[in-house]
Amino acid sequence: MEIGRARTGIIMQKSPFNSLSVFLLALIMLCSPAKAADPSWQLVWSDEFSGDGLPVSNKWGQEHGMIRNGEDQFYLSNRLDACEQRNGHLILHAQKQNVYDQSGSTTPPNAPLSNTTRDDKTLATGTRKSSTNVTPIANYTSCSVFSKQAWTYGRFEIRAKLPSGQGIWPALWLRNNVPGQTPPTPAYLEIDIMEYIGDRERNKHFSTLHWGPNYQPPMQFDSRTFVDPNMENDFHLYVLEWTHDYIKIWVDGRLVTNFDVNAINTGHNLQYFRMPMFLRMNFALGGNWAGPVGPDTLPETFEVDYVRVYQKAGSSISQSNGIRDKNDIPVKENDVPVNEVVTSESPAAVTVDTKGLKSSKMSKCAPYGRNFEARQIEYQGKKIWRCFRKGT
């Protein structure tokens, strides 16, 4: 979602979806309990969107403003006409609504002020209060939410109903930086679970991986899959499994992306796949891929029934800081991200040389350059090694 959408992917998968199969799969999923099919996955976080009102603030943050990709919408935050919980669903609204520069006499009456600025001007939204010839900053409003929790590895299940029409661009995706932090450093990873492009790319599901240094990922893995022509008419289940060894994505139980993480073990590429990730759900309009919004497209909604996050049973990877015991470190792993902790009860279990760059089993801080070093600290009664930026 974040990166410009040149569709020059490595992998193309194309085959028709069987409508009866989709119906049967959906029926099975509706009758299934809230757990992953594999019992080794344990539920660690979820939102069933019960209760009416704004999204739960201790679980979700909201973007505000005009963010990326030359899109046409202005994201509103903390407004029910942009994003609300109702009838057990999270509803992201997109509508025709002008957004104006709040400085001067053209401010709409009673328009709420934003908490951010663009081009050093405070923004407001509403209808124009006079006939003065004023050009709105944006003609559409929508919503974008992000989880306040981050995870290193997991199974992410999102049941959602897509909008329809020319110029829509809903997306479900993960990114490694703290929302609002641009650019993310020292490395960038984005996992697009689902992107859907209305009439321009109708009946196609896109899932993409981007990775590289300093917010300019030079590498991309792209999957484009034909899906059922009635995808917009009902809820469908989107699933991501992200592990040490693979990234897989399913739509209604059908595998559409299968990425071997270890196959890219060149240079420091693996470091990008070992960092905590935040979940994002947004309803974009227009922009450099979706094209102009159709005259009859809006209003529209992007609805989410639930979000569930699982992690492997017995793993000591925490949701917030990626902590795991030495016994959980796979043999193939050869780097440890900056925010990940490797515990060691014995000094011999994980050895680091005096410069804090190498161990006998894995590279510790070297992928992040000379500005990082390994330090031994106390954590929950154990001695652990962790990468720190020098001088911090």
The region, left, alpha or beta by phi > 0 then psi within -120 to 50, assigned to residue 91 is beta
Token pair 């109903």 is found at 161
Residue 3 lies inside a defined structural domain of this protein: no
Q: How far is CA 235 from CA 65, 232, 251, 341, in A?
A: 28, 8, 11, 38
Residue 9 lies inside a defined structural domain of this protein: no
Degrees, nearest 5: CA angle 381-376-348: 85
More confident residue, 105 or 238: 238
* Shared-domain flag, residues 221 and 343: no
* Shared-domain flag, residues 91 and 229: yes
* Shared-domain flag, residues 83 and 192: yes
* Shared-domain flag, residues 63 and 133: yes
pLDDT tens for each residue of 295-304: 999 999 999 9
Q: How far is CA 366 from CA 64, 262, 353, in A?
A: 37, 18, 12
Residue 317 lies inside a defined structural domain of this protein: no
| Distant-in-sequence, close-in-space partners of 378: CB < 8 Å, separation ≥ 6 | 384
Q: How far is CA 358 from CA 268, 270, 272, 354, 370, in A?
A: 14, 16, 18, 9, 12
More confident residue, 29 or 61: 61
* Shared-domain flag, residues 372 and 297: no
Cα–Cα dist 386/363, whole Å: 12
Name the E strands within 144-287: 144-151, 154-161, 168-175, 187-195, 204-213, 219-226, 235-242, 246-251, 254-260, 277-285
* Shared-domain flag, residues 296 and 382: no
* Shared-domain flag, residues 139 and 227: yes
Degrees, nearest 5: CA angle 143-178-74: 25
Domain boundary residue among 277, 312, 347? 312
Residue 12 lies inside a defined structural domain of this protein: no
CB 189 within 8 A of CB 210: yes
User: What residue numbers bound the domain in which 65 lies?
Assistant: 19-312
More confident residue, 314 or 331: 314
pLDDT band at 375 (very low <50, low <70, confident <90, very high): low
Cα–Cα dist 320/356, whole Å: 24
Cα–Cα dist 66/121, whole Å: 13
* Shared-domain flag, residues 211 and 300: yes
* Shared-domain flag, residues 367 and 226: no
* Shared-domain flag, residues 86 and 158: yes
Is this prediction's pTM over 0.85?
no
**Is the link from the previous residue into 218 a cis peptide, with omega within 30 of 0?**
no
In CATH, what number is assigned to the domain containing residue 87? Answer: 2.60.120.200
Residue 96 lies inside a defined structural domain of this protein: yes
More confident residue, 213 or 149: 149
Q: What is the mean pLDDT of residues 6-35?
A: 36
Maximum average pLDDT range among 144-153, 161-170, 198-207, 271-280: 161-170
pLDDT tens for each residue of 245-277: 899 999 999 999 999 988 876 555 677 787 788
* Residue 348 clears pLDDT 80, i.e. is over it: no
Q: What is the mean pLDDT of residues 280-285?
A: 97
Residue of 4, 86, 45 whose CA lies nearest to 278: 45
Q: How many domains does the chain have?
A: 2
Q: What is the mean pLDDT of residues 326-352?
A: 35
**Is the link from the previous residue into 16 a cis peptide, with omega within 30 of 0?**
no
* Shared-domain flag, residues 101 and 208: yes
Q: Residue 183 has what pLDDT?
A: 43
Residue 13 lies inside a defined structural domain of this protein: no
Residue 92: which H helix or E strand, with range?
A: strand 89-101
pLDDT band at 386 (very low <50, low <70, confident <90, very high): low
* Residue 154 clears pLDDT 60, i.e. is over it: yes
* Residue 130 clears pLDDT 90, i.e. is over it: no
Provide the token pair at 360. 């006998």
> What is the bridge-based pairing of β-strands 154-161 and 300-312?
antiparallel
Residue 1 lies inside a defined structural domain of this protein: no
Domain boundary residue among 261, 291, 312? 312
Q: What backbone phi and psi angles, to 5 degrees, belong to 88?
A: 80, 10
Domain boundary residue among 291, 312, 333? 312
Residue 11 lies inside a defined structural domain of this protein: no
Pairs from 380-384 (Cβ < 8 Å, separation ≥ 24):
382/343, 382/344, 382/345, 383/343, 383/344, 383/345, 383/347, 384/341, 384/342, 384/343, 384/344
CB 93 within 8 A of CB 84: yes
pLDDT tens for each residue of 83-94: 999 999 999 999
* Shared-domain flag, residues 221 and 367: no
Provide the token pair at 7. 């569709």
Q: How far is CA 272 from CA 87, 175, 369, in A?
A: 38, 11, 14
Q: How many residues does the chain have?
A: 392
